[in-house]
Structure 1
């Protein structure tokens, strides 16, 4: 696997990224908030993506890797996820990195948001929230799962972009 890597997560930043970049919610709170929300949504992570799709909430794109807590996801969750997307992109992104291909595809989807896109990561989507939030237009909210904690709800016009810039400068 010869992948062009844009960013690599150093060990000293791992604890920082275990903290939510936005509002931490439980499933019911998330669904209530999304049903009221009028903007566009991006979902990152298999469980959160399957959860919103089960409730007929469609993200403009989702980023998944068919894993949860490093294990394979159950078949029924995989089936829900695989039913979504006009376009499916398979992108290599090794653990603890942001590949150039992932970054550029996120940019492209935001520039051309006319289709629902499922990005299937070969590797891990553990850092995909960073470019998804940083590159997002102001009418987009990004949601991502934080293992054993809940779902993080991040409006793109909030303070998260500055925090992400600071993190990326250290990578």
Structure 2
């Protein structure tokens, strides 16, 4: 398991991509793109707009409160454990599997907030990763070699421990 030390958590407060106030601002940019989502509200809203994410990662909560919208991506679903402030090997393996076997929903028991990092690493170049920025909007990250390098650099801030 990888754990993000408290002193590095502030680094993850800034958007890892382009911030849009509303998901409707992003919809025209998604045409002909493979899209991956992290978060219940983003996944739900995209599905409601008729866009099927290749992979949706959800935990049943939004801003630490139960999410009253149950987003689902048609196809297979996997359930994994991932405590807050961590990236478990189980979650990372599920992301890799999901990217190769879409459409798929990853249901996280714990918290999915940091899943955007391994998702950007695993997703194909040119695809888009969307996630919510609490109280601010939606972040769009196009997967490029530079984005993958940045995500790998973020992982270097984590500490490995046994699960």
CA drift of 1:14 comes to 1.0
Does the residue aligned with 1:162 lie in a helix, a strand or coil? helix
User: Aligned residue for 2:126?
Assistant: 139
Q: Give the unaligned 5+ runs of structure 1.
A: none
Verify: 1:148 aligned to 2:135, yes or no.
yes
Matches within 5 A, 1:1-171: 5=1, 7-27=2-22, 28-34=24-30, 37-74=31-68, 77-78=69-70, 81-82=71-72, 84-110=73-99, 112-113=100-101, 115-157=102-144, 159-171=146-158
Q: Distance between the aligned counterparts of 2:138 and 2:146, measured in 1?
A: 18
- RMSD (Å), alpha carbons: 1.3
CA drift of 1:124 comes to 0.4
Q: Give the unaligned 5+ runs of structure 2.
A: 159-163
Q: Distance between the aligned counterparts of 2:124 and 2:28, measured in 1?
A: 23
- Equivalent pairs, count: 157
TM-score (norm 1): 0.87
Runs of 4+ in 1 over 3 A off after TM superposition: none
CA drift of 1:109 comes to 2.1
TM-score (norm 2): 0.91
